[in-house]
Structure 1
Amino acid sequence: MSSKWLSLEEALSKALDAAAPISETEQVSIFDATNRILADDVVATVDVPPWDNSAMDGYAVNTASLDGEMPLNVQGVITAGMEASTPLQAGHAFKIMTGAPMPPKADAVVMIENTDGGKDKVCITKAPSSGENIRKKANDIAVGDVLVKQGTQLCAEHLMLLSSQGKSDVTVYRKLRVGVVATGSELAHPGSERASTQIYESNRVGVSSILRNENVDIIDFGIVEDDEASLRALFTEASTKVDVMVSSGGVSVGDADYVKDIISELGNIDFWKIAVKPGKPFALGKIGNTLFCGLPGNPVSSFVTAKLLVVPVIKKLQGQDGNYEPLYINANITRDVKRRAGRRDFQRATMVKNAKGEWEVTPFKSQSSGVMTSITSANCLMVIHEDIATLNKGDSVPVMPFHL
């Protein structure tokens, strides 16, 4: 392996170092905040629960005044959303519903199953201890608690929590603007007439779909032919419009591969070539404040490097906190594999659970990066590390699921 090739870890580290998170924020309704990135800690302003309340349907009593099997007078009924108009009297009980505020002087709730269920009078068949079946004020959330941390990608559970605090909107980072372009004179737009020497372009829609899962705004710059002037104009324009420019094709060493040189001319290239398969000719650079990610033109290589390197960069740029690496799980391989060591290999594969509930993974026999059906037929990428040349059936290997 050439010393100029970076390991995946080195490439990802350099890419993340180059990704300075955006700082611009906006207020959005919590109904529009799904998958947005929180710009400030959200601090509780309301205790939850806001008062002691009943955890059961039953009867609110004072344990100190219970007298054996003597029936208690039912002083009234308290349902959720109302409160007792008077404190609990000695020798009495309030019938109370789940979530209703505890009446003053009551210190326990007897569940209905432990009473005779009387209407005007009730007998307690099993005496409670003080505090039994009561949710104490602020035992879930207290005023001042940090509810959701800055950098969190907001999901349904976060938004429900914010709503329970009475919040109708939230401060989030603005959406990233991400440009996508495909380069190559051999490419034709889907839906258009195709010359006999052309193929229909597929990378833009694939990359856009992957990145839309990160909730970014996509700007499609279309297809640009292998022409230096056209490419220079395209990247100059993009640097004024987007935070990230994702290009596919033109970053290898062919006579018509101009992209890398043009990015170097307009800005800089941080690195080029990583020790992965597929996807070796991945480039990272910058034009002004716009980060440039140059993907290989091969569709499978483009798909893999977009997931491995572009998605983590997007996560950091948009202010998302946490681990930016993809999720890996372990699975047992179902057949022997021999290969040439030297690059980390992301093989297309299928993973299933066996009868024991264990994950098993089967790599496809054909791993050609030109076979697009190897992606649509797969549900994961099986990872073989650089120093491994042989895997035996039953060996445990890391697997990157497409979806879980």
Structure 2
Amino acid sequence: MSASWLSLESALDKALSAAHTVTECETVSLFSANNRIVATDIVATLDVPPWDNSAMDGYAVNTAGLSTSSPLEVQGTITAGMAADTPLSTNRAFKIMTGAPVPPNADAVVMVENTEQRENKVIIKSLPTSGENIRLKANDISAGEVLIAKGTRLNAEHLMLLSSQGLDKVSVYRKLKVGVVATGSELAQPGDNRSSTQIFESNRVGVCAILGNENLDIVDFGIVEDDKDSLQQLFESAIGQVDIMVSSGGVSVGDADYVKEIINRLGGVDFWKVAIKPGKPFALGYLQQSDAQKNSQRTLFCGLPGNPVSSFVTAKLLVVPVIRKMQGQVNVSAPLTMNATLTHPIKRRARRRDFQRATMHKMADGGYEVTPFKTQSSGVMTSITSANCFMILHEDVSQLDAGDTVPVMPFTL
């Protein structure tokens, strides 16, 4: 590995260090809060459950002096949403439904399967212990405890929890604004006519789909030709308009690759080149401007490679974690990986971490097998559409045999 190339971990550390969390907040309905980041600790105001309640359908009894030989008179029926009018009397039982409040003087619930009802009496066939089948008040949540910590990304279960506390709104960090642009004179807009030397641009729609899953606002800057003046004008217009500018193409070493030069002129490039394959020419930097009337404005810059697979891989591995950090999410974690058994031997030059497109499937014993594609070109997008995982070959791995264990990163679970 070249000394000027960063490892994936170093590149990600630098990128996350450069990603500053937004500070502005807004209050939104729970119905609009899915995938948003909580801006403050949310504290419980109610005990859950609010009272001792039955864990199942059965009969509420007092275990003192209870026997299997003496039928108990059924004092009444308690359903969910109601309470007993009177405390449980001696030698009696309340018929009770799951979730209903346990009546005073009862200390256990006998499941209906362990009883036999005769007219208005019930026979207990299996004696319960005190507390059996009773969910105690505040057993789940106690008023005053932190329900959801600041920096948590809300999902369905969080929203259900908040709703159960009587909340209908939540304070979250504002949405990020992310600009997306493709650079290159060889690119044509899909749906338009193209010249004989052009190809249809495909990176923007893929990057927008990947980033759109993070619940943010995307500004599409379209396609810009390899022209210094046009590129500079574009990046100047992005400063302050978006929090992050994501560009694909123009960050390699070609004669018309002007993006890094312009980013350095308008701000700075923190690093360029990461020891991964595909995706080596990834760049991270910033755009900044100041004037007498405005405070200094700064926009983070992520430069993706132009090859479609490289753009796809670096967007997932490097841009998505940066976005999550800037959104205010705490504990931004690496993508999930798991182990699988390799089906074919591999020989390669050990230098970069290789994210090979592959298919994995579950075996009869519960483990997984993985088979990499023969074609791993960063320009072949069908290697992504036909795959269901990345097979990860680390920097020091030059040879693997069939049957070896390798880490894989599933596309979906």
Q: TM-score, normalised by structure 2?
A: 0.95
Which deviates further from its counterpart, 158-167 or 87-96? 87-96
2:345 paired residue among 318, 329, 336: 336
Alpha-carbon deviation of 1:190?
0.1
RMSD (Å) for aligned C-alpha atoms? 1.4
**Shift of the alpha carbon at 1:75?**
1.7
What is the distance in 1 between the residues matched to 2:112 and 2:377?
68
**Is 1:49 the counterpart of 2:49 in the alignment?**
yes
Equivalent position of 2:168 in the other structure: 168
1:186-221 Cα distance to aligned partner (Å, 9 max, x none): 100000000111100000001111111111111100
Q: 2: CA distance between counterparts of 1:324 and 1:21?
A: 16
Structure 1 residue aligned with 2:277: 277
CA offsets per residue over residues 199-245 of structure 1, 9 Å max, x none?
Answer: 00000001111111111111100000111111111001111211110
Q: Which residue number in structure 2 is paired with residue 249 of structure 1?
A: 249
CA contact (8 A) 1:250 1:257 kept: yes
Q: Is the contact made by 2:84 and 2:103 (CA closer than 8 Å) also made in structure 1?
A: yes
**1:366 corresponding residue in structure 2:** 375
Q: Counterpart of 1:305?
A: 314
Aligned to 1:403: 412
Structure 1 stretch displaced more, 64-73 or 208-217 = 64-73
Larger deviation, residues 383-392 vs 9-18: 383-392
State yes or no: 1:58 paired with 2:58. yes
1:268–1:285: 8 Å Cα contact kept in structure 2? yes
**1:180 aligned partner:** 180
> 2 CA distance for matches of 1:299 and 1:312?
20
The 1:68/1:344 distance shift into structure 2, 3 A limit, reads closer
Q: Deviations over 1:340-365 (max 9, x none)?
A: 11111111111112232211111111
Deviation at 1:115, TM superposition (A): 2.3
- Letter of the 2:405 partner, please give it: S
User: How far did residue 286 of structure 1 move?
Assistant: 0.6
- SS of 1:117's partner is strand
Q: Verify: 1:196 aligned to 2:196, yes or no.
A: yes
Structure 1 residue 119, shift from structure 2 partner: 4.2
Query: Partner of 2:214 in structure 1?
Result: 214
Moved more, 62-71 or 321-330: 62-71
Q: Are positions 1:290 and 2:299 aligned together? A: yes
Distance in 2 between residues matched to 1:111 and 1:379, nearest whole Å: 47
Please tell me the residue identity of whatever aligns with 1:178. Answer: V
Q: 1:128 and 1:375 mapped to 2: Cα distance?
A: 59
Task: Say if 2:287 and 2:299, in contact at 8 Å, map to a contact too.
Answer: yes
Does the Cα contact within 8 Å between 1:224 and 1:230 map onto a contact in 2? yes
- One-letter identity of the residue aligned with 2:326: L
Look up the match of 1:326: 335
Unaligned runs of 5+ in 2: 289-297
Q: CA deviation at 1:131?
A: 1.5
Between stretches 67-76 and 14-23, larger displacement belongs to: 67-76
How far 1:366 sits from its partner (Å)? 1.4
What corresponds to 2:145 in structure 1? 145
> Could you tell me how far apart the structure 1 residues matched to 2:17 and 2:281 are?
20
> What is the number of residues matched between the two proteins?
404
CA contact (8 A) 1:263 1:287 kept: yes
Aligned to 1:94: 94
Match of 1:32? 32
Secondary structure of the structure 1 residue equivalent to 2:45: coil
Segment drifting more, 169-178 vs 143-152: 143-152
DSSP 3-state at the match of 2:138? coil
**Of 212-221 and 181-190, the range deviating more from structure 2:** 212-221
Q: CA deviation at 1:130?
A: 1.7
SS at match of 2:5: coil
* Cα separation, 2, equivalents of 1:108 and 1:378: 55
**What residue number does 2:107 align with?**
107
Asked if structure 1 preserves the Cα contact closer than 8 Å seen for 2:324 and 2:332, the reply is no
In the alignment, the residues of structure 2 paired with residue 85 and residue 337 of structure 1 have an alpha-carbon distance, to the nearest angstrom, of 75
Shift of 1:152: 1.4
Distance 1:147 1:199 in 2: 52
Q: 1:68 to 1:338 in 2, by over 3 A?
A: closer
Q: Distance in 1 between matches of 2:138 and 2:215?
A: 35
Question: Runs of 4+ in structure 1 displaced over 6 angstroms?
Answer: none
Would you say 1:388 and 2:397 are equivalent positions? Answer: yes
Partner amino acid, structure 2, of 1:208: C
Equivalent position amino acid for 1:92 in 2: R
> C-alpha separation between the residues in 2 aligned to 1:385 and 1:91?
71
Unaligned runs of 5+ in 1: none
Residue 128 of structure 1 aligns with which residue? 128
Aligned AA for 2:241?
A: K
Instruction: Give the Cα separation in 2 of the matches to 1:72 and 1:78.
Output: 16
| In structure 2, C-alpha distance between the alignment counterparts of 1:61 and 1:338, rounded to whole Å | 71
Residue identity over aligned pairs, in percent, reads 70
- The 3-state SS of whatever aligns with 1:105 is coil
SS at match of 1:400: strand
1:67 positional shift: 5.5
- What are the Cα deviations for residues 83-121 of structure 1, in whole angstroms up to 9, with x where unaligned? 111112222221111111111111122222222223422
| Contact 1:49–1:139, Cα closer than 8 Å, also in 2 | yes
Q: State yes or no: 1:317 paired with 2:326.
A: yes
1:51 CA drift (Å): 0.6
Give 1:65 shift: 4.7
| Deviation (angstroms), 1:122 | 2.3
Q: Which has the higher mean CA deviation after the structures are superposed, 247-256 or 321-330?
A: 321-330
